[in-house]
Amino acid sequence: MDPPRAAPARERAVLFVGRVVTWKGVLLAVDSFAAAGLEGARLVVVGQGPALDGMRRRAYEAGIGDSVEFTGPIERDEVLWRMRTASCLLFPSFHDSAGFVVSEALSLGLPVVCLDHGGPGELVTLWPTDSQAVQPGPRRRTVGLLAEAISDFVEMPRPIPAELVRSSSSLSDLVRRAYDEALGGRTG
């Protein structure tokens, strides 16, 4: 692994990471980003899947096609770097019991905006990072609440915790260390 890069600054970027499937709330992500009306910001979609063309279409229909970056799959180190520098992770999944990407983002100090439904909503309430779990409801109201939350994180970026900038740790590293400590250092 390459040495950590210099201390980054938060970018005006809202990050969506995951398989691009309908139940991950991909169209809700596009609609919420569009409703936020964030000049000079971009929605960065990391991943691929069967709903990708629909997501692209929706972005152009909403007039934000030029503000959405579709990266496709990228190397893990690049995903972690983007998590360290984005304004927030947008995770509007309708059905996720855990949402590993939410835990990963939180472990890197990235605020998360998600639906208060299932594991991700519970994770953000338990983690000390400033994040927002939005109560799902009628679509227009939910889009508005998600848009407000992402706008807040883009317009008033939270500082990147200094210890996370110097560290190359990810959630898997933190979990391994905790497991090793729990076993009294016997895992090697």
Quick one: pLDDT band at residue 26, thresholds 50, 70, 90?
very high
CATH number at residue 149: 3.40.50.2000
- Identify the pLDDT of residue 30: 98
What would the pLDDT profile of 30-69 be if each residue is shown by its tens digit? 999 999 999 999 999 999 999 999 999 999 999 999 999 9
Contact 124, 102 (CB under 8 A): yes
What would the pLDDT profile of 71-106 be if each residue is shown by its tens digit? 999 999 999 999 989 999 999 998 877 778 999 999
What would the pLDDT profile of 133-165 be if each residue is shown by its tens digit? 999 999 999 999 999 999 999 999 988 776 654
Q: Do the domain assignments include residue 131?
A: yes
- pLDDT of 179 higher than 50: no
Q: Do the domain assignments include residue 8?
A: no
Domain that holds residue 17: 13-182
- Identify the pLDDT of residue 96: 75
Q: Domain total for the chain?
A: 1
| Top-confidence residue, 4 or 154 | 154
pTM, two decimal places: 0.83
Q: Do the domain assignments include residue 62?
A: yes
Q: Do the domain assignments include residue 7?
A: no
Q: Do the domain assignments include residue 122?
A: yes
One-character DSSP codes across 15-71: EEES---GGGTHHHHHHHHHHHT-TT-EEEEE---TTHHHHHHHHHHTT-GGGEEEE
Contact 123, 99 (CB under 8 A): yes
Contact 94, 23 (CB under 8 A): yes
Q: Do the domain assignments include residue 5?
A: no
Q: Do the domain assignments include residue 3?
A: no
Q: Do the domain assignments include residue 104?
A: yes
- pLDDT of 16 higher than 50: yes
